Structure 1
Amino acid sequence: MTDKAANWALPIIGNIIKGKGNPPTTIQALMAKFKEAFANPDAKRAATRKIAALTQTMTTSEYVTEFRNLIAELDWNEEAYIAQFTCSLHWKVKELLSTKDNIPDKLEAIFAASIKIDNTRWENEENQPKKLPAKSLATVATTSTSTTTTRVRLSEDPNYVTPEERDRRRASGLCIKCGQKGHGIKQCPNGWKATIKEVAKVAEEEGLGKD
């Protein structure tokens, strides 16, 4: 113990031993008096500014650690610490803390309850099923274009029979392939119609034969 510290502490210790005056009776009270005598006023002012600007942008556990480091430089009462701590809590943690049946009234108990709430909140979010990404507009457009192209190709095919026409022919007892009576699609003597390309090829071959 330095001379300055000894000169400060020895009278207090003497009063405690003799039971004289109004000396501090607990370690916390003694530490508070020690800070009053030896604390750096600049450090105290800096801690006051920092704790006033502190807001929870990290996990509650990290926020509690930062808060504890700052109050070590201060000499506020517990009610003031509680008010400052809860004021700067993340809004979701603060909301869940306020809905508890028995809200703690001690700073350490509030620390513990807030950390537990935050940990549970993160666990619940991680356990939620992941949402599948919605189909992009490009995928939808490609699918739509492909479907439209397929319909155009089918409509140009001379052998294509629409679903409605197939149902009509089936109900009327007609051949689904050629639309005539007296036989079914498997016994159809007419066969499929030639495609546009096949007709053009036959015409070309006939033209070459005439030459």
Structure 2
Amino acid sequence: MIPVLLSLRPRLPPPSPVCLRNATLQQAFTHHGDVLGQHERTIRNLLEQNQSLAQQVSQLSNQVTTLLTHLSPAAAAAGPAAPLYPPESRSTDPEPFAGQPDLCRGFLFQCRSVFQQRPARFPTDASKTRYVCGLLRGRALQWAEARFSNSALDTTDFEAFINEFKLVFSHPHYRADAASRLLDITQGSRTVADYTVEFWTLAAEVDWSDSALKAVFSKGLRDSLKDELASRDEPSDLKALVTLANRVDNRLQERRRQARHSPVRSTARFPSPTAEEPMQIGRARLTAEERIRRRAAGECFYCGRRGHFVAACPARPKERAQQ
């Protein structure tokens, strides 16, 4: 009976492709709707958190403003803030000082240079005094130990300490000796550059006018250089004189180097006399340096004027010139 009934049930037609497609789209729409709902809830939560953070920031700003209002009177009463120092540059420590009077001034100069380059490291007189004492050796260290045996180093005035230091170790008559040495200084066989270094070192210790220093500098130059400068316009001040002297000296040195490395040419214009020239009677012979200078300048070996040579010199005796 049951099989007969089953065979009598009507068979449903298979779903069409359009129905299958609509069902798929419906499921997709439902899924996307769920996803959009989740995103909406997430965005709503983020907005609520953002509002909460904004309220917290506002509260913190109010608290900072209140604190600054209470701190302002106290900061004003505390005085100005400590100065901000630029980044410190590296500097080399001076050589240790063992009490030599001729090295005292240079040692103290180097110490002060270190203090200027490292201001943050040496903000107090005590820190500067400790630094100087740390570089002392020998009898200088013995003096420092005796100096601070009955007094605290931390309460020492640095400038007062330096004044005492100079009284003990600096040359007692440095300025007077500098003036005396400045009056006696000469170039000698040195270059003008070397002579100038010693001159400026001594000149820094005397309170002389520019004209006085100019006269002393000129007096100490080598005679050959003085003769060369005499043919030029006189410099207006000491610095101009030093510059000109260095330039002329460099030129003379260059001439001497060229004369040493250049072969001597025998020409009719520069005869080498074998007997005593009339120009040498009653006067000194020309030095090798002066002969080089006159030859380079085109000057006569006899009278020193330009435009002719010794063979045609009008001041030379005629009978000697024809030989």
TM-score, normalised relative to structure 2: 0.28
Q: Greater CA radius of gyration, 1 or 2?
A: 2
TM-score, normalised relative to structure 1: 0.42
* Higher RCO, 1 vs 2 (CA within 8 Å, ≥6 residues apart): 1
